[in-house]
Amino acid sequence: MTELSPFVYWAQTEDIITLKVDLKDVKKPDVKLGEKKLQFSGHGHGARGEHDYSFTLDFHSEVNPDESKYKVMDRQGNDFKEGEQWVVAKINCNSSEACLVKAYVDDEEEPRDVLGDYPGLYEKLEKEELGYRKEDLKKVYLIFYNLCQFVGFTYILTVMAIRYLRDGPGTYEAVGGAIKFCQLMQILEIMHPLFGYTRGGVLNPFMQVMGRNIVLFCLIEAEPRMWEKPVIFYLFSIWSLVEFVRHSIYRVWLFKKNASFLVWLRYTIWIPLYPLGFLCEGVVILRDIPYFEETQRFTVSLPNAWNFTFHFPTVLRIYLLLIFFPALYKFHLLKNLEKEEESELSYKMFYLN
């Protein structure tokens, strides 16, 4: 007859562990207690009816077998206080099924993470029982999102490299659709911290994502004469290379792996590429000003129903004078890179945990 695992109730203080095996009419219980292991077997009436039950518990720390004892009592006997709080955890057993252990949590003490004492054991038992391991929906979504971004920017870099070797710079018509899709998807990164999918604030991803989208859709997409400019090729190359490495790291972290080389690459290419990318964006703005003066696109002139005027080229000039050059200077400060690295570290801790 196959031996089953009974319910085991676990209560713990700083120096005492109390276990209760939930069996009725136990006959000849066999209890073997070592310094770091407890083995139990016996015939009794449990959750699966009258069967042979057994289990093995591996303790996180050593216990004193000489000062330990056990007793057999009726099923209504209960050594635990009323009003206890319980959390269900899976602990190693020697039978084909996992035994369920209910861990006592004292209201006055900090709750103990029982699963933390046995890292990886829950996933192993879950896979043995179900034939697969359940994944958190957030993790599955993040894997899919980072994979899509990784594939998208890999495609962009590949096409741009081939076109550059064959025709030289000027590949917007070839990769414009792909890079617009990837940049629109990055709007989701603004939502991730709001819904608890990642840690960190909303301001940094909002500024970066929306800034790129304004450059892409308002300054490049809206002016076809910019499509063949060499600066567009260099700007897209910088964006794609940065995102290729970033999403490569995130995918590795989601599988709880460390990638020292990718981390080194990320923070090495960061220093030259971010200021260069920002400089390319400034060149795009500067080259666009005459075009928008000519076409008056995004400009609102008087008279109109709202009695309001908006001159887009003037806004671009003000941005270059008051925001772009001071921001370009700050990009060279290592403190800003350290702040960005701290933000990246919050992603790492969230993904690895």
* Active-site residue set: 274, 281
Q: How far is CA 133 from CA 19, 111, 252, in A?
A: 29, 26, 18
Is the distance from CB of 219 to CB of 285 less than 8 angstroms? yes
Per the DSSP assignment, residues forming a β-bridge with 43 are 27, 52
* Among 23, 16, 20, CA closest to 8: 20
- Say how far apart CA 104 and CA 86 lie, in whole Å: 5
- Say how far apart CA 22 and CA 5 lie, in whole Å: 10
Helix orientation angle between 334-352 and 230-254, rounded to the nearest 10 degrees: 40
How many CA within 13 A on the CB side of residue 316?
Answer: 24
Nearby residues of 101 by Cβ (< 8 Å), 6 or more positions away: 8, 9, 10, 57, 88, 89, 90, 91, 114
